[in-house]
Amino acid sequence: MLLIEELKVEIGGKPILKNINMEVPQGETHVLFGPNGSGKTSLMMTLMGFSGYNVTHGKITFKGHDITYMPINERAQLGIGISFQRPPTINGLKTREIVEICGAGNANLDVEKLAKEINCTDFLDRDVNHNFSGGEIKRSELLQLMAQKPDLVLLDEPESGVDLENIVMIGDTINTLLGRSIQCQCPIETPFKTIVSDQARSALVITHTGHILDYITADKGRVLFDGVLCFTRNAREILKWIREYGYEECARCTI
């Protein structure tokens, strides 16, 4: 689905991503951990094709297409969607309108019905993100993705600014969007069983705190440290190590 090979990215001449290699297969959810400033958001912005993220080396392939230098709108049309950590306020554009734009290729789009499902009806007719609470911002982002139905979903810190009640809904919505259902089970060491549908979407999820992993499951976790991917393992195992030893020690130990 997504293949990144030897990717090097600079911002304003400063190297930010240093030789990234990774693959996200069809239907898998991968989590990206990393301390502040390690380059997680830059990787997502590069994958989506935002300007200012200059690819100086390497290749990004999505669904067999070389998208390394493809314009952002073509990447969206090809099936990549993104939820930002801090999306901008867009005055003069209603949330309903942006959802309709996101779902332009979706003939069966019913904005009201979708909004009801994730408790977004209250702000459909407000300007995008204008005075939205943290939880409303994240729900609005997910509503846009539900309308777009991308094959690859990029989620930048979906739990940031969200309270404990909203995070349950955010987790449920992400699972619905990705086509994964979660069953709780014992023992505590393996608390979740994941049922992945045939049409499951692929996802790359950035998390700084790891809280979202109490509500969604992942097939793989990776740690990005100072623009370098240090290691790849079970996401919950990585989280345990980070909590115990910290990022620096984890990176030092692996490198």
Ligand X SMILES: Nc1ncnc2c1ncn2[C@@H]1O[C@H](COP(=O)(O)OP(=O)(O)OP(=O)(O)O)[C@@H](O)[C@H]1O
Please report whether residue 52 would count as binding ligand X according to CB under 6 A. Answer: yes
Query: Residue 211 phi/psi, 5° resolution?
Result: -55, -35
Please report whether residue 11 would count as binding ligand X according to CB under 6 A. Answer: yes
Please report whether residue 30 would count as binding ligand X according to CB under 6 A. Answer: no
Least Cβ distance, residue 181 to ligand X (angstroms): 29
SS3 state at 36: coil
Please report whether residue 82 would count as binding ligand X according to CB under 6 A. Answer: no
Please report whether residue 51 would count as binding ligand X according to CB under 6 A. Answer: no
Beta bridge partners of 52: none
Please compute, for residue 14, the number of CA atoms within 13 A of its CA located in the half-sphere on the CB side: 8
Site size for ligand X, by CB under 6 A? 13
Q: Which pair of structure tokens corresponds to residue 176?
A: 């619905």
Binding residue for ligand X (CB under 6 A) from 29, 42, 173, 175? 42
| Strand spans (E) along the chain | 2-11, 14-24, 29-33, 54-62, 65-66, 80-83, 90-94, 127-128, 152-156, 180-184, 192-196, 202-206, 220-225, 228-233
Please report whether residue 222 would count as binding ligand X according to CB under 6 A. Answer: no
Least Cβ distance, residue 11 to ligand X (angstroms): 4
Binding residue for ligand X (CB under 6 A) from 6, 21, 26, 37? 37
Q: Which pair of structure tokens corresponds to residue 118?
A: 């994730």
Q: Is the four-CA dihedral 122, 124, 128, 130 of positive or negative sign? A: negative
Binding residue for ligand X (CB under 6 A) from 20, 24, 29, 38? 38
Q: Which stretch binds ligand X (CB under 6 A): 38-46, 96-104, 124-132, 173-181?
A: 38-46
Binding residue for ligand X (CB under 6 A) from 22, 29, 41, 67? 41
Please report whether residue 246 would count as binding ligand X according to CB under 6 A. Answer: no
Please report whether residue 40 would count as binding ligand X according to CB under 6 A. Answer: yes
The whole-angstrom separation of Cα 60 and Cα 160 is: 28
| Residue 165: other Cβ atoms inside 10 A | 9
Q: Which stretch binds ligand X (CB under 6 A): 10-18, 197-205, 215-223, 240-248?
A: 10-18
By CB under 6 A, the residues from 112 to 171 that bind ligand X are none
Please report whether residue 208 would count as binding ligand X according to CB under 6 A. Answer: yes
Structure-token match 């955010």, residue found: 170
Binding site for ligand X (CB under 6 A): 11-12, 16, 34, 36-42, 52, 208
